[in-house]
Amino acid sequence: MGAIAQMLARLEDENLLAEVRKQLDEGVDPLAIFKECQEGMVEVGDKFSSGEYFVSDLMMAGSIFKQVNEMVTPLLGEEKAEKVGKVVMGTVKGDIHDIGKDLVVALLNAANFEVVDLGVDVKPEAFVEALKANPDAKVVGLSCLLTTCYDAMKETVEAIAEAGLRDKVKIMIGGGSLDQSVVDYAGADKFGMDAQAAVTIAKEWM
């Protein structure tokens, strides 16, 4: 693990932010910094699973990541080029994890996608409403970190189908340790392991 990942895993907020600033000044790729932060977050999750960390520590880690996000995201830049497509994005019902979703939104924006960000704990009907309000959206992104919310993803895909919109959109899912079996279970089209994968998939579908 790199220095940033280690500092995040140890919740050393001040050291971490100083290190991020230093690496940015040295010209390190912002995406590499996010990648390390994600590794650090996995470690935080493992410490939580093993009983070493508590929910308060998860919250702390989340807050540190958001501060990094604020420093790094503006550097991704937004090209002034024409928008390449529209994506409706949200964290599914019952799940309030938004750090990964926000990163996906940031990278999609940087890649000139227009993103309708519905936030967290988004009910299936809200996705359907957003698709009706944005008939030009061709991609839906569902973020979900809790295994207990896989059903909410499935319900969301079903609601989109019931509204007669399933053949108008492609649905990508992501968050934590999803795999193809979850895609199959939820009835989605593809999963992505990180925000860059989300951009690649969305481009592929345009």
Residue ranges in 119-138 that form contacts with ligand B12 under rule CB under 6 A: none
Residue 158 as a binder of ligand B12 (CB under 6 A): the answer is no
Residue 192 as a binder of ligand B12 (CB under 6 A): the answer is yes
123-161 CB burial, b ≥16 within 10 A, e <16: bbebbbebbeeeeebbbbbbbbbeeebbebbbbbbebbe
Q: Could you give the string, one character per residue 6-45, with x where binding to ligand B12 holds by CB under 6 A and - elsewhere?
A: --------------------------------x--xx-xx
Q: Least separation, in Å, of the C-beta of 27 and ligand B12?
A: 21
Q: Of the listed pieces 1-9, 13-21, 46-54, 159-167, which binds ligand B12 according to CB under 6 A?
A: 46-54
194-199 long-range contacts (CB < 8 A, ≥24 apart) are: 194/35, 194/38, 195/34, 195/100, 195/103, 195/104, 195/106, 195/107, 195/108, 196/31, 196/107, 198/104, 198/107, 198/108, 198/141, 198/172, 198/174, 199/107, 199/108, 199/111, 199/113
Residue 49 as a binder of ligand B12 (CB under 6 A): the answer is yes
Q: Of the listed pieces 2-10, 16-24, 52-60, 129-137, which binds ligand B12 according to CB under 6 A?
A: 52-60
Residues that bind ligand B12 (CB under 6 A): 38, 41-42, 44-46, 48-49, 55, 58-59, 61-62, 65, 94-101, 103-104, 141-143, 145-148, 172-176, 192, 194-195, 197-198
